[in-house]
Amino acid sequence: MSARPYITCRELIDMIAAYLDHELPPQAEADLQRHLVVCVSCVAYLAMYEKTILACRATARYDEKLAEAAPEELVTAILAVLRS
Amino acid sequence: MSVLPIDEAVLVSRLREKDDEAFALLVRTYAGRLLRVARRFLNSEEDARDAVQDAFVSAFRSIGSFKSTSSLATWLHRIVVNSALMRLRTIKRHPEDEDIDDLLPRFAADGHQVAPSVDWPLPADEMIERAETRELVRKLIDQLPETYRTVLIMRDIEEMSTEDTAKALGINGNAVKVRLHRARQALRTLLDRDLRGVGQ
């Protein structure tokens, strides 16, 4: 039986970034996971936080797939500066 | 994977010899990609194009210091980010624009969330597949205070390391982590308001 008190939602949310980066000390990670077992609100918050990160990453990755060439006038301007 | 039509080491060697055709190839190969990066930082198309031009001038001048331990693409990416950051610093900001507290979660005196969180219905993969979600994310990132927007773009969009981000911004790694966490929380709040159609 654990005598440690549950961490609060505030403490959990403060640790989310470190948790996702696997940077939490083992005891802090255990505390966080124990809170998640009993708090559906923090489970939801964590899920949305992760989706926010994934959505950011997706914006750039989809941009790269478009592989749009630079406007010709920009290329011409850069080359003119480099040759001057 | 290299997008160059010739071997990168050969191109670098020709660039160091100030070969005109080599620079033309470098610009034609990477200008589009670098312009997309600059546009994420700078709202004005003119500023973004100027940042790309500055980046190539800087690359031209410093090709002698290029180390083949990184790729040309990575090296140019770092240069254009720095160029965009320099332009951003010239844009005047108001201190009140930096307040982000209203977008952070609220807690009761006992440390629990004031309003329970409810996850968005779409799974992550379906959410990011939608072009409208990605467009919304771009729009909402632009609403973040500049200090937070910049760190979010560098870490979560450009996927730069904490160390590289800290170095480019002249702050320490812990400050990057704090700003990034607050930026993500603020963006989550903005997304939540938009996806649920409340708080606008």
- Amino acid A2: pLDDT: 54
Q: Which residue carries 């904490």 as its tokens?
A: B162
Same domain, B31 and B119: no
Beta bridge partners of B113: B107
Instruction: Give the end of a domain, one of B75, B90, B105.
Output: B90
Same domain, B85 and B106: no
Query: What is the pLDDT at residue A32?
Result: 97
Q: Which amino acid is at A32?
A: L
Interface test with A, best of B148, B156, B163, B179 (most A CBs within 10 A): B156
Is A58 a domain residue? yes
Task: Look at residues B43, B68, B90 and tell me which one is the last residue of a structural domain.
Answer: B90
CATH code of A38's domain:
1.10.10
Give me the pLDDT at residue B200, please: 40
Q: Are B111 and A9 in contact (CB under 8 A)?
A: yes
Residue B86 sits in a domain whose CATH number is 1.10.1740.10
Q: pLDDT digits over B37-70, tens only? A: 999 999 899 999 999 999 999 999 999 888 878 8
Contact B36 A68 (CB under 8 A): yes
- Give the domain range for residue B15: 8-90
Give the nearest partner residue to B31 out of A43, A52, A78, using CB atoms. A78
CB crowding A34-65: b at 16 or more within 10 Å, else e:
ebeeebebbebbbbbbebbbebbbbbbeebee
CB A63 within 8 A of CB B138: no
pLDDT digits (tens, 9 = 90+) for B6-41: 788 899 999 999 898 999 999 999 999 999 999 999
Dist CA B29 CA A20 (whole Å): 36
Nearest CA in chain B to A49: B188
Confidence (pLDDT) at B6: 77
Domain extent for A69: 9-83
pTM value is: 0.90
When pLDDT is averaged across residues A70-83 and rounded to a whole number, the result is 90
Domain count of the fold of chain B: 2
Q: What is the mean pLDDT of chain B?
A: 91
CA of A39, closest CA in chain B: separation in Å?
10
Residue B187 has pLDDT above 50, yes or no: yes
